[in-house]
Amino acid sequence: MPTPIQEFDFLVLGSGVAGLNFAYQVASRGRVAVITKKDKAASNTNWAQGGIASVTSREDSFELHIRDTLEAGAGLCREHVVRTIVEEGPARIQELLALGAQFTERDDPRHPGQRELDLTREGGHSKRRVLHAADATGAEIERTFLQAVASRPSIRVFEDHLAIDLITSTKVGAAGSARVLGVYVLDRTSGQVEVFSAPIVVLATGGSGKVYLYTTNPDIATGDGVAMAYRAGLPVANLEFVQFHPTCLFHPQVRNFLISEAVRGEGAFLRGADGQRFMERYDSRAELAPRDIVARAIDSEMKRTGADCVFLDLTHLAAEFIHGHFPTIQARCLELGIDITRQPIPVVPAAHYQCGGVVATVDGVTDLAGLYAIGEVACTGLHGANRLASNSLLEALVCSHRAAAHALASQVPSGTVAIPAWTTGSATDPDEMVVVSHNWDEVRRTMWDYVGIVRTTKRLRRAEKRLRNLTEEIGEFYWNFRVSPDLLELRNLVTVAELIVACALQRLESRGLHYNLDYARPDPAWVQRDTVVRRG
């Protein structure tokens, strides 16, 4: 017996800051479903340590923040998008504070007895402009929005539900122009595939860090939104720009613990295995250079010396200061036997953030009517070839707000379209799940070995060939066996891996996060030029 269709006015995929803010903004105008594939707090937002960049200081200005973002983006940012997000940022911060977010404060030196927001500085920023909640900013923002969403009875959060594919009018053979109708969703608990329908669907699914063997991202970051959008025929762009965070903890028991950008922003040094600083040999800004430069410098230093890691040293900073600013990092390192007040932290670069994604406007509008893409899943033109640290939470706040306003002002089509129930056909239960786990590992190792921080065309072609074979094998598995969460994520993972390689092979230059030894310099002809891939 087919499962009844779950009907809503708004359907949001993802429970990070972008998805939750959109849901909160539209809740007064209809029924909202938030679909999240694990628990509602599982998101990249929740893992964000550093903070949210915005102009809130008298010493700062919009023009400086815009300039820093454009410089980091290496000629690919769209200035009107950057300006919009930077200039609207302070208003969104005030809304966040009004909802109850609590950021770290300090004594105001100009007004004794008063407090002000404590601002830190990160790589690529010319001023202190990063608001933070100690070193767990994302968790504080996530808490704030989960509390806000819980206060709205028109919002239902469906935990342990994994979106499979978008349902479009084209797929079901409906007349008229193409538009989104809903999503097929796997309920992890029951194992049943359900139909969720809505005239407005929002992709807020985050990034794809798990496509690499080593990443700072949680296990949920498998590129689901990008893969679903691509399968639905939407263009994706600039996926070759994968930001590798320079400082991920290097430890045999822990592979994805991030050491915040703010640690370097507050004065920590990077040292090689010999104990000597090396960043000044690569960039005059030393440890405060943008992430792409720092990650490549660490990669080069490790290859030059044969070392497994480098070291982030903050032992020259006061222990009280370290405890006050980085309590989460200090506690986690202590659990692993590292006292960061006395010992440098072993670190390596790890995949962190995708700068490309589903092509969307600053309002989240995509090429498919009714479908929005916001947050890390979207390619709006803000980040260009390299994301400026802590601009991601800012983008999520501003773009989700604008997308909600756009959705509320849009004309929703009248009438209903019959959506067919999910059918398993002759699919059976998988007999050897080891195939899934082996393919998962092979995808991630292929990407790490051939599509990493430094690339060559030969390596990219090798990756392309291996991924093509994996895609065929995974596709056969998908069509022959009943779907499972691991299989669905693997299917999305290999799709995104292929898209990253396809974009990388298009770009015959080195720019920002994409560094190809065969084309080692930026080509002026590629300024403001995106790599776009569309199915078929």
Beta bridge partners of 156: 33
260, two tokens: 């915040």
CA–CA separation, 325 vs 341, rounded Å? 12
The tokens for 13 are 């995929």
Q: What DSSP line would sit under 67-110, residue for residue?
A: HHHHHHTTT-S-HHHHHHHHHHHHHHHHHHHHTT----EEE-TT
Spatial CA neighbour of 513 closest among 358, 291, 304 = 291
Question: Beta-carbon neighbour count of residue 9 at 10 Å?
Answer: 17
For 300-344, what is the HEC assignment?
HHHHHHCCCCEEEECCCCCHHHHHHHCHHHHHHHHHCCCCCCCCC
Helices and strands, number each (H, E), in the chain: 15, 22
Report the candidate in 377, 36, 368 with the shortest Cα–Cα distance to residue 203: 377
The one-letter code for the residue type at 270 is L
Q: Of 78, 129, 291, 387, which is the active-site residue?
A: 291
- The answer for residues whose C-beta is within 8 angstroms of residue 441's C-beta and 6 or more apart is none
Cα 229 from Cα 406, distance rounded (Å): 20
Q: Is 271 a catalytic residue?
A: no
Which amino acids are annotated catalytic? 291
